[in-house]
Structure 1
Amino acid sequence: MSDHRKDDEMKVFEDEKKILMDHEYDGIKELNHPLPKWWLITFYLTIAYAVPYYLAHTFFGAKTIQEEFKEDMNEVSELQADYLKRKGGFILAEYEKVKSDPGTAKLAKKTFKRKCKACHLADGGGSIGPNLTDEYWIHGDGSVASNYEVLYHGVVDKGMPEWGTSLGKERIYAVLTVLEEMKNTHVEGGKEPQGKKVE
């Protein structure tokens, strides 16, 4: 067999001679192309950043990512709690305003029928949910403010849904007017008393 190495030998251009490496494998030579400047600059910057970062976290007690995340989440929780407190808290003046509105009665009955009737019945006598027409209360003391909190935030472990998000304050205030009308009316056939008696 004839040797075609010399015939097939790759020609090296003049501008490649400076970067031609001196080793050879099976007739293959390599060119030592330099890395792009942007890549080298980025690499050196990461090294420059890593040194003070390492010193700060190892010797000077800088906060870790986990600690910063935990602090941020605590701050978010505080902001959410503050927002809910401002948005969801019972305000007597707002309630009185809704109560005195001529259109509230219609809104209240409509909302109660759609959202409350299934568990408390149309007359408030109670079915799955407790009787709303006696003087016994499972949650809170039966006051308007207390009932507002139950309606707005719900009682998940007792199956009472949170209505604050879906109904909003105005409709919850409206429903409260219905509850106030039902109090101590003791409808016939109402569910047995549950919770504590409130005089």
Structure 2
Amino acid sequence: MAPSSTSTKSSKPIIIFVIGGPGSGKGTICERLKTKYGFTHLSTGDLLRDEVASGSELGKELNQIMQSGKLVSNQHVLNLLKRSIEKNLSKSKGFLIDGYPREINQAIEFEKQIAPCSLVLYFHCSDTVMMERLINRGKTSGRVDDNVETIKKRLQIFHSNSDPILEYLKPKLAKIDGDKSIESVLESVELVIAKLMHV
């Protein structure tokens, strides 16, 4: 395998937005892609939780916001993403941004402040399948949001927010059938990424 070029920093990084409803399999597929392609997998939820766990001043502020039931500002999330991308730029083949953008404004600001996105992987999954997966996950995950009522609300929010994003990012969009098995989904995604990597 050829060593990675030192010009990576100056060239545009590969940025892949990974969009899909809760339970659409985004996280699972991202972990596989990370291993296979040497990508960095960034989940905004994980970045927020890690910052809170670090006990930093920002972490304390974020914790207060989340505990009061408010949404963390887009700018806070963008800053965390930017910091992680810059930190991993020289050693990463690309970035999988998992579950982001959640609304159109985030997509616009990300491309303005950080870098244009190279590809959007949209895991299209039926509500029935997502509901089943989350309820099954809830049996062992211990996550408070894996219950029927909360799942219904999360799906509703996802649908109302994702349509404008998908329209805005349409030229870069690859729609993947997320109802299929992990192996089938992975196969479809790898075909899309192979094209991207050879451009």
Q: Which TM-score band (shorter chain)?
A: under 0.3
Give the structure-1-normalised TM-score: 0.24
Higher strand share: 2
Give the structure-2-normalised TM-score: 0.24
- Higher alpha-carbon Rg: 1
Q: Which has the higher contact order (CA 8 A, sep 6+)?
A: 2
